[in-house]
A and B are shown apart, each in its own frame.
Chain A
Amino acid sequence: MYKIVSKRILNNSVHMMDIEAPLIAAKAKPGQFIILRIDEEGERIPLTIAGFNREGGTVKIIFQLVGKTTMHLGALEAGDEIRDFVGPLGKASELENYKNACVIGGGLGTAIAYPQAKELHRLGAKVDIIAGFRNKDLIILEDEMKNISDNLYITTDDGSNGTKGFVTDVLKKNLETKTYDVVIAIGPLIMMKFVSKLTKDAGIKTIVSMNSVMVDGTGMCGGCRLTVGGETKFACVDGPDFDGHLVDFDEAMMRGARYKTEEEHSCRLGGYLNG
């Protein structure tokens, strides 16, 4: 069993938890993920590691209450326990040797982009963060992002805070005056697709994080497979980071919708990343 050490509500539908998992905390790196299962009847869901405390032995997760499992998880409190917590899985992000980075987060993807931005900042890169949300009530981690970035751009779809529009609008504008040696985009597939399109034309290396449907997270089921540069890859062991210019996003979106009906049946509404 894995104890929930603390819980913080970031907005109405996004919660943050620190989970006691010292062995995972000792090894975790930005870009990796865990798989958890709440109880005996539960499904295994992957969540990206949003932070870790090596001394305290805890791993931070941030999740959106969109499906049966995440709603159940959100109903748990500090002191409660989770049955299974496995990791750190996947390859760590390669963040070294960049000078000017632009980190883009969409919705809940911001929670996953944040540790990467933090690591880039720690390694001495200049970091611009563009974080997009549907409206001002959904904004998360604003102070944290401010602290580790050179420029933070917030966008909202409805203009209720920051720039009205999408992250791609800001990126496009920035590219007119700035140069980046890497763009890291994490969020809904459609966002990552359009960011990658922009940066491909501009010739900027782009890394995206693919959170596919998966069961084991160790390469065993192949459910998370996607096409990258014409080859089949497994998000769990070959990723989750991939070259955004090579990912077949249309196929990934189609695969992401695979269990929509069952999710609704199980009172789920969509993939956990569709923030």
Chain B
Amino acid sequence: MADMRQDKYPMPEQEPDIRNRNFKEVALGYTKELAMQEAARCLNCKHKPCMKGCPVKVDIPGFIMQIKEGNIEEAYQIIAGTNSLPAVCGRVCPQESQCEEICVRAIKGQAVGIGRLERFAADWHMEHTPVYGTEALIGQTAIKKSVGVVGAGPAGLTCAGDMARKGYDVTVYEAFHEPGGVLTYGIPEFRLPKSIVKKEISILEKLGVEVKVNMVIGKILTIDELLDKHDTVFIGTGAGLPRFMRIPGENLNGVYSANEFLTRINLMKAYKFPEYDTPVKIGKNVAVIGGGNVAMDAARSAKRLGAENVYIIYRRGEEELPARLEEIHHAKDEGIIFKLLENPVSIEGDNKGNVTRIECVSMELGEPDDSGRRRPVTINGSEHLIDMETVIVAIGQTPNPLIKNTTEKLKTASWGGIIVNEETMETSIPGVYAGGDIVTGAATVILAMGAGKTAADAMDAYLRPE
């Protein structure tokens, strides 16, 4: 019998006034007892609707039933059979718009906490299985063919993990000095501890995946050169180029792209300056421009670095905020001030070029635009100035053109994304596949992982001599 409690069992988390002063993880995770209780809310539906919402096709009721019985390692092995980064997904997937959205329990009450349970199983495995039991994962004899993966982010790591599990030799090329992509440089420690990312990657390495860091493909080696070394290549280089607003004052000191701000903090550990050598400046008043998850991450990081007033400045309304509801709630709880229906028009600085104020106009919502959202329209005469020392621009990213510019036959769209056959993720070059933000534009971790998985299946079919 399922536990018919309407709401999820709450997951313990740090109190807002404490956590907004540290970089430790906000959500503390279920205990085994809580996990087993939550698992008992699952109806174990025969038709498994939740699975249709999972881009990496995890057998959700299957693993939840194992947790219900207290068989946590078994639950983990079910997840790990199709998901290369379960501890990551359990934390950062937007489950509310995927598996949990179509959970039968969500019709009346709250969905089963699928993400929380996935996280619990993965964390339990990392804690209790000192030598990660990879034997169970390698089901096949090694195939003497090699795969090159460009970019060690969610798409690349998933593709690498799946190909290794299928028995191929896999080498991942990462431009930074640490693998993980956005999981390492972008998503903050308090939402996704870097020790978790490292453990997930070490599990992949135990599967036989070789990660080469400091390899900027397009510069040190080209895609054509990788094709000489490998039988097939996957490109998962993400959307790494920051977009700016193109308003006066944007090059003043104190204006960061969210990428730079978060990379300094997450990858370079600027929040531990001077123990680590990379600095980051913050000031008393911080404006984050944009309303997505990256904006929330930047705002919450700024608060933790000691800023007194941190504003989210977004040109549309509350309902249009693209960030996950959970992230918006977390930000509000931590004291982030939302200035909605406001649009920056210029940034002012002092004689040393440091930001002093930001000028905004107020907006109102008009008719829906091409995106279906109501278009923000400037209210005449509404210009006003706000004191500010730091401005973080989080209005989106575009693909990095390094590979496009150095790979002649690679077809790309006008906005810079790589064009693929959506069923196989194959590019215009036979044997070269691509997936994740480099194909779709900036999206989510799990969609990138789904693309990596689809590509791995197609690459396997391409390489098998049949």
| Stretch binding the partner chain, chosen from A142-150, A160-168, A213-221 | A213-221
Rounded to whole Å, the gap between the CB of A125 and the closest CB of chain B is 27
A217-243 to B contact mask, C-beta < 8 Å, 1/0:
111111101110000100001000000
Q: Is A89 an interface residue (CB 8 A)?
A: yes
B163-207 to A contact mask, C-beta < 8 Å, 1/0:
000000000000111000000010000000000000000000000
| Stretch binding the partner chain, chosen from A99-107, A131-139, A195-203, A254-262 | A254-262
Q: Is A265 an interface residue (CB 8 A)?
A: yes
Kindly report which residue of chain B lies nearest to residue A224, judged by CB atoms: B260
Q: How far is the CA of A6 from the CA of B256 in the complex (A)?
A: 38
Rounded to whole Å, the gap between the CB of A48 and the closest CB of chain B is 15
Kindly report which residue of chain B lies nearest to residue A253, judged by CB atoms: B353
Contacts A86-B214, A215-B260 given: A24-B277 contact, CB under 8 Å?
Answer: no
| Stretch binding the partner chain, chosen from B83-91, B129-137, B238-246, B306-314 | B238-246
Q: Contacts of B263 on A, CB cut-off 8 Å? A: 215-216, 220-221
Q: Contacts of B260 on A, CB cut-off 8 Å? A: 215, 220-223
Report whether B275 and A86 are in contact in the complex, using a CB–CB cutoff of 8 Å.
Answer: no
Q: Contacts of A263 on B, CB cut-off 8 Å? A: 279
| Stretch binding the partner chain, chosen from A39-47, A151-159, A180-188 | A39-47
Kindly report which residue of chain A lies nearest to residue B262, judged by CB atoms: A221
Q: How far is the CA of A181 from the CA of B230 in the complex (A)?
A: 46
Report whether A262 and B259 are in contact in the complex, using a CB–CB cutoff of 8 Å.
Answer: no
Report whether A220 and B277 are in contact in the complex, using a CB–CB cutoff of 8 Å.
Answer: no
Report whether A220 and B259 are in contact in the complex, using a CB–CB cutoff of 8 Å.
Answer: yes
Q: Is A23 an interface residue (CB 8 A)?
A: yes
Report whether B251 and A266 are in contact in the complex, using a CB–CB cutoff of 8 Å.
Answer: no
Report whether B277 and A42 are in contact in the complex, using a CB–CB cutoff of 8 Å.
Answer: yes
Q: Is B250 an interface residue (CB 8 A)?
A: yes
Rounded to whole Å, the gap between the CB of A80 and the closest CB of chain B is 18
Interface residue tally of chain A, by bracket?
35 or more
Kindly report which residue of chain A lies nearest to residue B218, judged by CB atoms: A218
Q: Contacts of A42 on B, CB cut-off 8 Å? A: 276-277
Chain B interface helix/strand/loop/mixed: loop
Q: Is B386 an interface residue (CB 8 A)?
A: no
Q: How far is the CA of A225 from the CA of B242 in the complex (A)?
A: 11
Report whether A23 and B221 are in contact in the complex, using a CB–CB cutoff of 8 Å.
Answer: yes
Q: How far is the CA of A251 from the CA of B353 in the complex (A)?
A: 8
Report whether A266 and B400 are in contact in the complex, using a CB–CB cutoff of 8 Å.
Answer: no
Kindly report which residue of chain B lies nearest to residue A262, judged by CB atoms: B279
Rounded to whole Å, the gap between the CB of A195 and the closest CB of chain B is 22
Report whether A69 and B244 are in contact in the complex, using a CB–CB cutoff of 8 Å.
Answer: no
Q: Is A27 an interface residue (CB 8 A)?
A: yes
Report whether A251 and B251 are in contact in the complex, using a CB–CB cutoff of 8 Å.
Answer: yes
Q: Contacts of B175 on A, CB cut-off 8 Å? A: 86, 216, 218
Q: In B238-290, which residues have CB < 8 Å from any A CB?
A: 240-242, 244, 246, 250-253, 256-257, 259-260, 263-264, 267-269, 273-279, 281
Q: Contacts of A69 on B, CB cut-off 8 Å? A: 277
What's the A-B contact tally at a CB cutoff of 8 Å? 117
Q: How far is the CA of A246 from the CA of B216 in the complex (A)?
A: 29
Q: Is A205 an interface residue (CB 8 A)?
A: no
Report whether A85 and B220 are in contact in the complex, using a CB–CB cutoff of 8 Å.
Answer: no
Q: Contacts of A220 on B, CB cut-off 8 Å? A: 185, 240-242, 259-260, 263, 400
Q: Is B402 an interface residue (CB 8 A)?
A: yes
Q: Is A3 an interface residue (CB 8 A)?
A: no
From A27, A83, A223, A232, contact of B220 by CB (8 A): A27
Contacts A68-B277, A254-B352, A254-B353 given: A216-B214 contact, CB under 8 Å?
Answer: no
Q: Is B5 an interface residue (CB 8 A)?
A: no
Report whether A266 and B279 are in contact in the complex, using a CB–CB cutoff of 8 Å.
Answer: yes
Report whether A89 and B275 are in contact in the complex, using a CB–CB cutoff of 8 Å.
Answer: no
Q: Is A87 an interface residue (CB 8 A)?
A: yes
Q: Is A37 an interface residue (CB 8 A)?
A: yes
Contacts A218-B175, A259-B281 given: A88-B219 contact, CB under 8 Å?
Answer: yes
Report whether B400 and A262 are in contact in the complex, using a CB–CB cutoff of 8 Å.
Answer: no
Q: How far is the CA of A222 from the CA of B353 in the complex (A)?
A: 17
From B241, B252, B267, B269, contact of A219 by CB (8 A): B241
From B216, B251, B256, B353, contact of A86 by CB (8 A): B216
Q: Is A81 an interface residue (CB 8 A)?
A: no
Report whether A219 and B219 are in contact in the complex, using a CB–CB cutoff of 8 Å.
Answer: no
Report whether B400 and A255 are in contact in the complex, using a CB–CB cutoff of 8 Å.
Answer: no
Q: Contacts of B213 on A, CB cut-off 8 Å? A: 84
A83-124 to B contact mask, C-beta < 8 Å, 1/0:
111111100000000000000000000000000000000000
Q: Contacts of B241 on A, CB cut-off 8 Å? A: 219-220, 222
Rounded to whole Å, the gap between the CB of A26 and the closest CB of chain B is 9
Interchain Cβ contacts under 8 Å between A and B, 21 examples: A24-B220, A44-B268, A83-B177, A88-B219, A89-B216, A215-B260, A215-B267, A216-B176, A218-B175, A219-B401, A219-B402, A222-B241, A225-B244, A227-B251, A232-B251, A257-B353, A258-B253, A259-B281, A262-B281, A263-B279, A266-B277
Closest 5 CB pairs of A and B: A254-B353, A262-B279, A221-B260, A43-B277, A222-B257
